[in-house]
Amino acid sequence: MTLAAAVAEEQPRVAALLDRLAAIGADPPGITRHAFDERENAAHALAVVEAGRLGLQVARDAACNLYLTWPGAGRSAPRVLLGSHFDSVRHGGNFDGAAGVVAALAAVSALRATGFTPRADITIAAFRCEEAVWFGLGLIGSRAALGLLPREALDRRRADTGLTLADHITRCGGDPDAIVPGTRLLPVGPIRCFLEAHIEQAPSLIEAGLPLAIATGIPGNIRHAAIRIAGEDAHVGLPRRFRRDAALAGADIFTALDALWAEEEEAGRAMAFTIGRFHTDTSTHELTVVAGDFTFSLDLRAYDAAHLAALEQRLHAIVAEVAARRGVGIELGPRNAAPVGPCDPALRAGLAAAAARMGIATMPLGSPASHDAANFAAAGIPTGLLLIRNANGSHNPREAMEIPDLMAATATFAEWLRAEAAGWSRSRSVGIS
């Protein structure tokens, strides 16, 4: 059987698997697969069933990450890691994260159907809690796997249950005491690379009329989940010169950041910022009261570490200027960050060539969002990322990835593995102990 035919035969199975994942996460009007809870557990269990069909070895680490391995002929050769995540935001879509795990499973299934035998292990990973909405920190599973999770993160409480991350890991069968900074939990042995497929979270591929992009890089980000502005409650009729208006100070910061974005875009320096929460104190705000308290969240991101650092300096300057002019106090609160993730040039070329051999048109494209892949790139492991065309963005119920586009990612992975993986040399691997 040809590889193209084998991939085509996977499409009904892929569609059925995605339907079952949608049923697990059903939460009208969208999908919710809570991190470190029953629904994420059920998604992992579904992947284990598929692994059983394929004869893959199943393992879990102390952070409850799942590893499904197709053993290679040479067990000491550098393994290939592929994967993504199953958790979602609240009332999100079905494909963010899940598409990447499903594509990896389908690629292995198609290769097995052709009679291919890998020389090195191929491991599919499903990482826990990629989404930052649950514990105020993203990429938790891959951070833990790479020994990058700060110890204090285990004390973070999940937004809805109030239980700590350590509590949730324990409830899922993990061992939070074994999650130690600097200690990797990944399968033992050298790693050749990490590959991820993910739906695009912007309409660039829709605009280009292409099913797939080869990511050039993953932006790093700086996040403040609860920036608090403290002004002074006052009567609605208070003249402007006497006001310490926290809401207007928040608006000033918002518009200053938007102006900064326009300036950077005009200069050809890619960046983005998002203010997801933006509100007065709902327990005290009134129609006729000048707001003395205001809270907002901020996600600031860029593709270059030095550029991101410069943007953070600009943020601090904006905050200081607004605080002085408006007569308010501004506390940025806890700072979280994700590293910039450059995609490996050789992997980018190899993935593009594999897609072309399968008759799939691609384009180079920077990822607008952060992914587990960014942690692997920052850790020095060669990393590649496929972006799959997806209408209506993500983190909403209207995600609209088409199954044939997911199959394009499957075919690209399968052809790349067939042509490249078996012949890798140890000289390009990254040792894991």
User: Which residue ranges are tagged as binding site for Zn(2+)?
Assistant: 85, 96, 131, 198, 395
If residue 357 lies in a helix (H) or strand (E), which one and from where to where? helix 345-357
* C-alpha 85: how far from chain center: 8
* Integer Cα distance of 161 and 83 in angstroms: 28
Binding-site residues sit at 85, 96, 131, 198, 395
* Integer Cα distance of 321 and 313 in angstroms: 12
Pull the structure tokens for residue 357. Answer: 């051999």
393, 381 Cβ separation under 8 angstroms: no
**What single DSSP character describes residue 211?**
S
Sequence-distant (≥ 6) Cβ neighbours of residue 327 within 8 angstroms? 231, 244
Pull the structure tokens for residue 376. Answer: 């692997």
- Which residues partner with 230 through β-bridges? 293, 329
* Integer Cα distance of 143 and 97 in angstroms: 16
Helix (H, G, I), strand (E, B) or coil at 295: strand
Helix (H, G, I), strand (E, B) or coil at 191: strand
